[in-house]
Amino acid sequence: MPANFKAELVACFGQPVAENPTGVMQEAAFSALGLNWRYLTVEVPPAKLRDAVAGARAFGLRGFNCTIPHKVAVMEHLDEIAPDAAVIGAVNTVRREGERLIGENTDGKGFLRGVRVDAGVDPKGRRAVVLGAGGASRAIVTELALAGAAEVLVVNRSRERGERMVADLAAKTGAPIRFEQWQGTYRVPGDVDLLVNATSIGLYPDVDAMPPIDLSAARPGMLVSDAVFNPPETRLLAAARGHGLPVLDGLSMLVYQGVIGFQLWTGQDPPVAVMKEALRKVLLAEGNPQEPIENRLQVTNLPHPDERLAGAG
């Protein structure tokens, strides 16, 4: 059989993308499975997005990720939008089906898989509070609603932005989604089962920042999840541990949204542990030793902001 030197290509389109680590975990998974695939991290300014998508078609890319600022703008250049991505109103993953490009959103799905797999929590019938009303929040709230959460409360500084998002998602999903304006320090009620920080508060380099919340009334066992992945150990998660609450870090969401993208592109299941380890090495490259990633990605229970999140997911 003749040798095949043709690599299959996937990519990330965004601006900026230099600090985006998604390609590291995807390339590690390709290598582990012996796939001759490459993940290209490509700087694409907004004015060139149409050309980039046309290039993806011309080059036969098997798919691509979209990150800031293209998650909404890319939708008009695609052939089809998956139903849940249409509800969210944003696309972060594009897959090829024949000659057609189909937009998906794996952000919320990645979060949900982390909650179920790493935390062992089923959101169905549970009450959740989500901080923020940006793109990450919209994806997370949508997936919690579709998963059958008893109630999702969105807490956000901007009333107009928060109410608009909640009204839109409640109408599209028929789920019980409410809004509360974030004024001063938000005191988490004692009937909440899941608290999610979907803002970028605490994201590198602002690692000492923490959402102004009060956990003193939180019920025992309330899961605290942070969508910020760098650093994995945020001040919010440290505070939650101090209250004896289980936590789930942002690496979980990042890894699992990448896992889902890998499956959509290749049709194969990637080695999740390999992807986690690849990210661990990247995030610890500055020589700041932390506990092993397999521990940090699992739930532990030890005794205003820019609302965007970096990353391809």
Tell whether 171 and 240 lie within a shared domain: yes
How many independent structural domains does the chain possess? 2
Cα dist from 302 to 25, 118, 136, 313, whole Å? 29, 16, 27, 29
Tell whether 119 and 245 lie within a shared domain: yes
The answer to whether residue 79 is domain-embedded is: yes
Domain that holds residue 220: 108-249
Of the residues 6, 48, 71, 109, only one is catalytic, namely 71
Tell whether 189 and 139 lie within a shared domain: yes
Tell whether 114 and 240 lie within a shared domain: yes
Residue 198, domain CATH: 3.40.50.720
Check residue 270 and give its pLDDT. 97
Tell whether 97 and 114 lie within a shared domain: no
Residue 256, domain CATH: 3.40.50.10860
Q: Mean pLDDT for each 10-residue chunk of the chain (313 residues)?
A: 88 93 96 98 98 98 95 96 94 97 96 96 98 94 97 97 97 97 97 96 92 97 94 94 96 95 98 93 61 40 35 40
Asked if 55 and 64 touch (Cβ cutoff 8 Å), the reply is no
The answer to whether residue 311 is domain-embedded is: no
The answer to whether residue 290 is domain-embedded is: no
- In one letter, which amino acid is 87? V
Rounded-to-integer distance, Cα 250 and Cα 233, Å: 9
Tell whether 90 and 122 lie within a shared domain: no
The answer to whether residue 267 is domain-embedded is: yes
Positive or negative: CA dihedral 289, 295, 297, 300: negative
Taking the model in full, what pTM does it have? 0.86
Asked if 102 and 95 touch (Cβ cutoff 8 Å), the reply is yes
Tell whether 63 and 140 lie within a shared domain: no
172 counts as catalytic: no
Check residue 310 and give its pLDDT. 35
Tell whether 21 and 74 lie within a shared domain: yes
Tell whether 257 and 239 lie within a shared domain: no
Tell whether 242 and 263 lie within a shared domain: no
Check residue 296 and give its pLDDT. 40
The answer to whether residue 257 is domain-embedded is: yes
Q: Which H or E run includes 181?
A: strand 177-181
Rounded-to-integer distance, Cα 247 and Cα 278, Å: 22
The answer to whether residue 312 is domain-embedded is: no
Tell whether 29 and 17 lie within a shared domain: yes
Tell whether 227 and 121 lie within a shared domain: yes
